[in-house]
Amino acid sequence: MSRVGDIKELLVELLGGEEEAEREAWRLMLLIYGSLLRKAEFLLSLLSGMPSEKDITALKDPEAIIRELKKTRQELWEEKYRNWFE
């Protein structure tokens, strides 16, 4: 059993039809990749429309990189995360 065609034939025979085999294939795909898809969907919703303000990788000095990240952290704090406590 090495060809995709053989596997498909076997699944169709086992599950009673092409439609059933396709439904089972989707079920298994979601079972295996479902959490990954949900995470990707969440990241897409979080990051879509979020601007990239600068290319920090252009800096070569690690200390300068940390300083730039800190500026962004402060902006995010002021904009949003200072109220992220309850």
Partner 1 sequence: MLDSNEYVFYIMGLSDVVEFILNAGAEVCVHTAIIEEVWRNLMAPAHKTAFLSILLSPDVRIYTDKLPRALREEYARLGLRGGDILIAAFTEFCHADILVTEDTNFGVLKGRPMSHSRYCPIGSSGARACRQRG
* Dist CA 26 CA 31 (whole Å): 8
Q: Which is nearer to partner 1, 3 or 82 (CB)?
A: 82
Smallest distance from partner 1 to CB 70, Å: 7
Contacts of residues 69-76 at CB distance under 8 Å and 24 or more positions apart, as own/partner, are none
Buried residues in 36-56 as b, exposed as e (16+ CB within 10 A): eeeeeeeeeeeeeeeeeeeee
Q: Which is nearer to partner 1, 1 or 36 (CB)?
A: 36
> Could you list the residues that contact partner 1 (CB under 8 A)?
35-36, 39-40, 42-43, 46-47, 50-57, 62, 65-66, 68-70, 72-74, 76-78, 80-82, 84-86
Smallest distance from partner 1 to CB 25, Å: 22
Q: Which is nearer to partner 1, 20 or 41 (CB)?
A: 41
